[in-house]
Amino acid sequence: AQRVTQPEKLLSVFKGAPVELKCNYSYSGSPELFWYVQYSRQRLQLLLRHISRESIKGFTADLNKGETSFHLKKPFAQEEDSAMYYCALSHNAGNNRKLIWGLGTSLAVNP
Amino acid sequence: GAGVSQSPSNKVTEKGKDVELRCDPISGHTALYWYRQSLGQGLEFLIYFQGNSAPDKSGLPSDRFSAERTGGSVSTLTIQRTQQEDSAVYLCASSAQGQPQHFGDGTRLSIL
């Protein structure tokens, strides 16, 4: 079955602490993995996609095919990182790139 | 416009009524997706449009749900004979081919 699992509904850290939001997936094929973020009262927006292999706002995520994981990491969390984070996957070829979503992790960065 | 536009932003209606939700994608984006975000259920795919191809309707939960995309641009999601379980945020996204999806603000639908 195609599935994205985010085991933590809520993650609370202090400012300056490292943060890791976990994402595991199950997919019979070659997926493309994404992290989307939703800040308070804003729309969903793309944070990272695994094929870009870039760092956005200090966040990185590495696709581990052996562990079927795509964990999101940041070495020093900031208060403005507080938001809802969603891991998602799609097929990585063809036109139809419908997204399969995890349930999301709410990150709270405390001062 | 600069982004995906959805209307209305909020809709409250009585059980049994029909509702229409509108999505105006980013100009030039050929792919358009509808998703639903229900409390405790997360985001789920509903339907996908790509150019003039037949849409992928595999995510529509029942035959009360339908959608169309006129002229390859604006899309309308229609829910007939609404039920309380239809209450959710309905999100629209568009993308250029092979590119990430850009989302609208959504329509918050409440069925009384």
* pLDDT tens string A85-94: 999 999 877 7
pLDDT band at A51 (very low <50, low <70, confident <90, very high): confident
* pLDDT tens digits along B58-94: 999 999 999 999 887 999 999 999 999 999 999 999 9
For β-strands B75-79 and A105-110, DSSP reports them as unpaired
CB B34 within 8 A of CB A98: no
* CB contact (8 A) between residue A102 and residue B56: no
Q: How far apart are CA B17 and CA B49, in angstroms?
A: 26
Phi, psi of B109 (to 5 degrees): -105, 125
Res A54 pLDDT > 60: yes
Of A44, A52, A48, which Cα lies nearest the Cα of A21? A48
Alpha carbons within 13 angstroms on the beta-carbon side of residue B9 total 5
Which chain A positions have a beta carbon within 8 Å of B33's beta carbon? 98-99
Q: What is the mean pLDDT of residues B21-45?
A: 93
Rounded Cα distance, A54 and A38, in Å: 19
How many angstroms separate the CA atoms of B101 and B83, rounded?
29
What is the pLDDT averaged over residues A43-72? 92
CA distance A35 to A70: 9
Give the closest-approach CA distance of A86 to chain B in angstroms. Answer: 9
Tell me if B106 sits within 8 A of B6, measured CB to CB.
yes
B98 vs A25, higher pLDDT: A25
Q: A77 in the Ramachandran plot: left (φ > 0), alpha (ψ -120 to 50) or beta?
A: beta
pLDDT at A82: 98
Confidence of residue B98 (pLDDT cuts 50, 70, 90): confident
Confidence of residue A12 (pLDDT cuts 50, 70, 90): very high
Query: What whole-number distance in Å separates Cα of residue B110 and Cα of residue B112?
Result: 6
Interface test with A, best of B23, B34, B43, B58 (most A CBs within 10 A): B43
As a whole-number percent, the residues of chain B with pLDDT over 70 amount to 99
Which H, E and C letters describe A51-70, residue by residue?
CCCCCECCEEECCECCCCEC
* Residue B58, SS3 per DSSP: coil
Alpha-carbon gap, residue A50 to A11, rounded angstroms: 22
A53 contacts chain B (CB < 8 A): no
- The reported pLDDT for the residue numbered B39 is 84
Residues of A in contact with B50 (CB under 8 A): 95-96
With residue B48 as reference, give the H or E element that holds it.
strand B42-50
* CB-nearest partner of B42 from A43, A97, A102: A102
Best mutation target, A6, A25, A92, A98, to test chain B (most B CBs within 10 A): A98
Residue B1: the pLDDT is 52
Q: Test A98 with B98 for CB contact under 8 angstroms.
A: no
Q: pLDDT category, B111, cuts 50, 70, 90?
A: very high
pLDDT at A29: 82
B43 and A43 in contact by Cβ < 8 A? no
What are the φ/ψ torsions at residue A95 (nearest 5 degrees)?
A: -85, -35
Percent of chain A scoring above 70 in pLDDT: 100
Position A93 scores a pLDDT of: 77
Picking from B91, B97, B101, the nearest residue to A95 by CB comes out as B97
Asked if B56 and A98 come within 8 Å (Cβ–Cβ), the reply is yes
Output the pLDDT for position B79. 98
User: What tokens were used for A97?
Assistant: 């790139």
What are the φ and ψ backbone dihedral angles of B11, each rounded to 5 degrees? Answer: -145, 125
Q: Is residue B1 within 8 angstroms of chain A, CB to CB?
A: no
